[in-house]
Amino acid sequence: MVSRRRQRRLASIAALIVSLSVPGVAFAQVAAAPRTVELTLTAAPARLSLLPGKLTDVYAFNGQVPGPTLEFREGDHVVIHFHNDLPEATTIHWHGLHIPARSDGSPLNAVPPGGSYDYVFTLLPGSAGTYWYHPHPDRRTGYQIAKGLYGALIVRAADDPLAGIPERVLLLSDNRFRPDGEVDFPSPESPQAEIDEENGREGDVQFVTGRIMPTLSIRSGEVQRWRIINASAARVYRLALEGYELLYVGTDGGLFERPVGVKEIVLANSERAEVLVRATGAPGSRAVLRALPYDRYAPQTRPADWSVPRDLLTLQYTDEPPVTPVALPDRLRDVPALDTAQATVRRTIVFSQGLIDGRKMDMHRVDQRARLGATEIWQIENVVGMDHPFHLHGFQFQVLDRNGVPEPFRAWSDGINVPKHGRVRIIVRFDDYPGKWMYHCHILDHEDEGMMGILQVTPTRR
């Protein structure tokens, strides 16, 4: 019999192997038994090459930008020993995970410089999906992510209907640099600072999992599963692989019930998409994944080049002869509908420029109070002329409709874009984990300026 101590040691070795995996390459390693996974993450300054021929002062998780891709399984009990070796307070927010509030890494649980914190949670059945992790300290989230603190997190299911299909992680991020290679933040009061405050900070250098315009290799006939994460501060991606239909199979909280064939996908800030790419081209050919123009802007600050498509990566076919494509399932899993008849509370949340319900974030105020176990319908209204993406911490929700148009298929989400002068309705059940939870705009500059509120979920007194 393996001792508990030895089990933990083995788990921590397994986690170390996982944490050293090359970002952008996913390793499937699925077994049935629940396990404890223990790993260490350290945030610290580093000097790395992000641009060819230049060195940049960054903030890095375990010395890497982006941070290591973390892989877990449903049922895992996860213990992450976090050390903050930055010169400022920080947290790690496990974006999209349904876990206890003390481990959410919200601004309420800042880890001071030199401090440590253990994030402890269990990944529940049904939680398989693509997530990411990033800092979430008060007012400094945009700065710390721009300095390099972000990484992908994958939760796998033992009964994944797409198991065995080769995977790629595409962590989309853009940044701006000074001529000397340092990350470019505008000086306060400058015109650029004003534009950033309005639009959110965008950059002219586009990264896919830390690389500029990478080449992914594919064999004719092959099917690949791409897990795409929008880790940009403000840029929204309208993704298309020219000449291809993508099979859209999942979003923030995992797989849909069925694959959906699409020509393009709009991925707002913090959102994830899982797609299957079918290599229908000839050996030796190539295709380009592009971000097509998407007008999320107010006219007065819309960038001059907003309508220029941006190339993200090259898909290069090998010269090998085609393989027979694998058979793809018609059905992926059940996504049971949350029942609108069970909703006991309806709320309206109003987004205006930089404000939620007319006010800025106050760490000492509770803006919404909900009962544990309640099912609620939230309408998020955007009353201004630019898009604001809504994110709720801790709970996956289902989108009911956008501008009154019913959502075409059911999915679990933790973020949803609220278009200019638009509204969305979501349904959510606060089934577990009482505590204080953030909801906010995920344009990082807006969030840092206070476009955030606090939801307190409280157990019902008996």
CA-closest candidate to residue 28, choices 162, 223, 123: 162
What is the C-alpha to C-alpha distance for residues 355 and 382, in angstroms, rounded to an integer? 10
Site string for Cu ion, 360-389 (x = CB under 5 A): ----------------------------x-
Q: Kind and range of the H or E element at 84?
A: strand 77-84
- Are the CB atoms for 161 and 328 separated by under 8 Å? no
Q: Is 443 in the site for Cu ion (CB under 5 A)?
A: yes
CB nearer to Cu ion: pick between 87 and 303: 303
Residue 35 tokens read as 């396990």
Residues 386-415 touching Cu ion, rule: CB under 5 A, are 388
CB nearer to Cu ion: pick between 81 and 420: 420
- Least distance (Å) between residue 300 CB and Cu ion: 16
Strand runs (DSSP E) across 125-264, as ranges?
129-134, 151-156, 167-175, 205-208, 215-218, 223-230, 237-241, 246-251, 254-262
Please pick, from the candidates 169, 441, 444, 457, the single residue that binds Cu ion as defined by CB under 5 A: 441
Residue in the shown chain whose Cβ atom is closest to Cu ion:
441
Q: Which stretch binds Cu ion (CB under 5 A): 23-31, 367-375, 418-426, 444-452?
A: 444-452
Edge-to-edge strands, sheet with 246-251: 205-208, 167-175, 223-230, 272-278, 246-251, 254-262
Edge-to-edge strands, sheet with 310-317: 215-218, 310-317, 286-292, 237-241, 265-267
Q: Is 168 in the site for Cu ion (CB under 5 A)?
A: no
310-317/215-218 β-pairing: parallel
CB nearer to Cu ion: pick between 75 and 422: 422
Q: Residues in contact with Cu ion, total (CB under 5 A)?
A: 4
CB nearer to Cu ion: pick between 93 and 388: 388
CB nearer to Cu ion: pick between 146 and 313: 146
Please pick, from the candidates 98, 147, 272, 446, the single residue that binds Cu ion as defined by CB under 5 A: 446
Residue 60 tokens read as 């890095």
Q: Is 440 in the site for Cu ion (CB under 5 A)?
A: no
CB nearer to Cu ion: pick between 129 and 200: 200
Q: Which stretch binds Cu ion (CB under 5 A): 39-47, 65-73, 406-414, 439-447?
A: 439-447
Q: Which residues contact 263 (CB under 8 A, 6 or more apart)?
A: 240, 245, 246
Q: Would you tell me which residues interact with Cu ion (CB under 5 A)?
A: 388, 441, 443, 446
